[in-house]
Amino acid sequence: MAEAVIRPMEVILVAAGSPTGRAAEAINDLTRHLPDPGEPDFCPTCAGRSWPCAVFDDAASRVHTARLQLGDVVPLDLHPRLWPSSAQPVSPVWPSGPAFE
């Protein structure tokens, strides 16, 4: 049986009043619902759910609402999946989520 590969994480401190600090809960939610390396189609937190899952979509929407770049908190190996037409997100548009105006 193959051993599961867990995505490496970093813990950082940011000022609570900064834009990133104010979106910390959304970023944490989003990060908890990232797929493991080599398993880009499945959310490891939502058992049996495909990825991106509803919790990820919601967290991504909250990150966008906080005016942060979604691509800055999504691992690079997942960028082609979320933004298939380019290696880097041109704008923080969430392709499968609600339209952001």
Asked if residues 26 and 55 have their Cβ atoms less than 8 Å apart, the reply is no
Choices 3-11, 41-49, 67-75, 83-91 (CB under 5 A): range interacting with Zn ion: 41-49
Stretch touching Zn ion by CB under 5 A, among 10-18, 29-37, 63-71, 83-91: 29-37
Instruction: Return d(Cα 83, Cα 31) in angstroms, integer.
Output: 18
Smaller CB separation from Zn ion, 52 or 89? 52
Count Cβ atoms below 10 Å from residue 81 Cβ, excluding itself. Answer: 14
Query: Which of 36, 40, 42, 45 forms a contact with Zn ion (CB under 5 A)?
Result: 45
Instruction: Please report how close the Cβ of residue 101 comes to Zn ion at its closest, in angstroms.
Output: 26
Burial of 97 (0-12, 13-18, 19+ CB in 10 A): middle
Interacting residue ranges for Zn ion, rule: CB under 5 A: 33, 43, 45-46, 53, 55
